[in-house]
Structure 1
Amino acid sequence: MRSVPNGVRASSLAAHWVKSSHSNAEGNCVEVASLGEGGIAVRNSRDPEGPALVYTPAEVAAFLAGAKGGEFDHLL
């Protein structure tokens, strides 16, 4: 399913990037974009020209379920 490789230059993707409303003024945030090929890309907002990580919808759903369930709270 992954036709866009991980590490692709984020600026080369024809994507609409979305930033969380919880982002702060220091730019400590990530942005996500839905790709036409079915993938979901993630990039560092401080480096919009840099690499993007590309995940399947199932991978993102698993991560979001874990985050909503508090599985990663120990990282903060």
Structure 2
Amino acid sequence: MIHRHSSWSDSREAAWRKSSYSGAQGDCLEAAELDGLTVVRDSKNENGPVLGFTRAAWAAFVADVKRCAVPGA
């Protein structure tokens, strides 16, 4: 399940992580744990929308990406 919020009040205090594969241009996502969800945001827009994924949904997404099973990836 995916949850979309324009912002989470706690998101500024979250421990955001950026992939070690991120490019110098900053075109990447940042992820954090918040309210029992894995939340992601655009690293170029720290105050923008935040998407929240349940642990199961995030694990399935990561597994699919690792297998290159995501359409358009």
User: Whose strand proportion is higher, 1 or 2?
Assistant: 2
List structure 1 runs of 4+ shifted beyond 3 angstroms.
none
Partner residue in 1 for 2:53: 55
Structure showing greater radius of gyration is: 1
Separation of aligned partners in 2, 1:65 and 1:49: 28
Structure 2: stretches of 5+ with no match in the other structure: none
Q: Deviations over 1:14-50 (max 9, x none)?
A: 3110000111111100000011x21110000000010
User: 1:69 corresponds to which letter in structure 2?
Assistant: R
What's the TM-score, normalizing by structure 1? 0.80
Q: Does 1:24 align with 2:23?
A: yes
Counterpart of 1:34 in structure 2 is: 33
What do the CA deviations read for 1:32-74 (whole angstroms, capped 9, x no partner)? 0011x211100000000101001100000110111111102x5
User: Identity of paired residues, percent?
Assistant: 38
Query: How large is the RMSD of aligned CA atoms in angstroms?
Result: 2.1
Q: What TM-score, normalized to structure 2?
A: 0.83
Of Structure 1 and Structure 2, which has the larger fraction of its residues in helix?
1
5+ residue gaps, structure 1: none
Q: CA deviation at 1:12?
A: 4.4
Q: 1:7: Cα distance to partner?
A: 2.0
Local SS of the residue matching 1:9: coil
User: Hey, what does 2:64 align to over in structure 1?
Assistant: 66
How many residue pairs get aligned? The number is 71
